[in-house]
Amino acid sequence: MRRISAPAGFLMLLLLMPAAVAGQAQNDQGLGHALDEMDKASENFRSTEADFVWQQYTSLVKETDTQKGKIYFRKAGDEIQMAVEVTDPYPKNVLLSGGKLELFTPRTNQMTVYDVEKNRAEFEAFLVLGFGGGGHSMLKSFDVKYLGTEKVNDLETSKLDLTPKSAKIRNTFEHIVLWIDLARGISVRQQLFQPGGDYRLADYSDFRINAKLPDSAFKLKTNAKTVTQTMTPHD
């Protein structure tokens, strides 16, 4: 093997360093720009409505389950509320508000209520990713890497990789990839990776930003015969 003399090796390092430094500077600039755009969107955020397609991949059986529907976010005082209306393949409704996560299944007329007040900050950290949450505020809960730009449905996006700082959260989601629409500072695609190779890929489209949302979107259509079960998640 040919050995490189010390002067030649040092010269090679000098030649490589500018490219490495420039690449890091571009990454830092790209990340800063994406976080700044998310901050701007957060400052002006009142509500968001969008269509979604969720694909849940289960590695053990190598199968993908797909759900479609609408998702709603709105600012209510100091919190951001979320409502989900799954329309396909089976109706299902989810509401996160006031420290409670409610899941209602019309087919069985059953509702499960999870008390998440104790872990509210952790739930909201995931809730507002790209939907009303600031960019730089993510740095409190996640280590964020810039993965460059990528086209998603003809939209120019910044691709960010988030690793939860909390070990407890990493047991549920090892890392999350966000595609942030640079023009609007919102997430148009998310991929949440779970231990063992499972993941959820979520695509969002047909956004209505800061439009007035009906209160009915944030109310579950239960009735007197609805069976309700309350659960408290364990630490």
Q: Is residue 23 part of a domain?
A: no
Q: Is residue 18 part of a domain?
A: no
Bridge partner list, 199: 57, 193
- Number of structural domains (the chain) is 1
Q: Are 188 and 41 within 8 A, CB to CB?
A: no
CB count in 10 Å sphere of residue 107: 8
Q: What is the pLDDT along the chain (235 residues), one digit of tens a residue?
A: 444 444 555 555 545 555 444 445 456 788 998 899 889 988 889 999 999 999 999 999 999 999 999 999 998 887 888 999 999 999 999 998 888 889 999 999 999 998 877 776 676 667 778 888 888 988 888 999 999 999 998 999 999 999 999 888 888 889 999 999 988 989 999 999 999 999 999 999 999 999 999 999 999 999 999 999 988 765 5
pLDDT at 42: 87
pLDDT at 21: 43
pLDDT at 161: 95
Q: Is residue 91 part of a domain?
A: yes
Question: pTM for this one?
Answer: 0.83
Q: Which domain holds residue 167?
A: 45-231
Q: Is residue 216 part of a domain?
A: yes
Cα–Cα distance between 181 and 157 in angstroms, integer? Answer: 5
pLDDT at 23: 46
Q: Is residue 37 part of a domain?
A: no
Bridge partner list, 94: 84, 103
Tokens of 1: 């093997």
Q: Is residue 31 part of a domain?
A: no
pLDDT at 14: 47
Q: Is residue 29 part of a domain?
A: no
Q: Is residue 116 part of a domain?
A: yes
pLDDT at 213: 92
Cα–Cα distance between 128 and 99 in angstroms, integer? Answer: 15
pLDDT at 117: 77
CATH code of residue 108: 2.50.20.10
What residue has token string 């500077």?
25
pLDDT at 205: 95
Radius of gyration of the chain (CA): 21
pLDDT at 79: 81
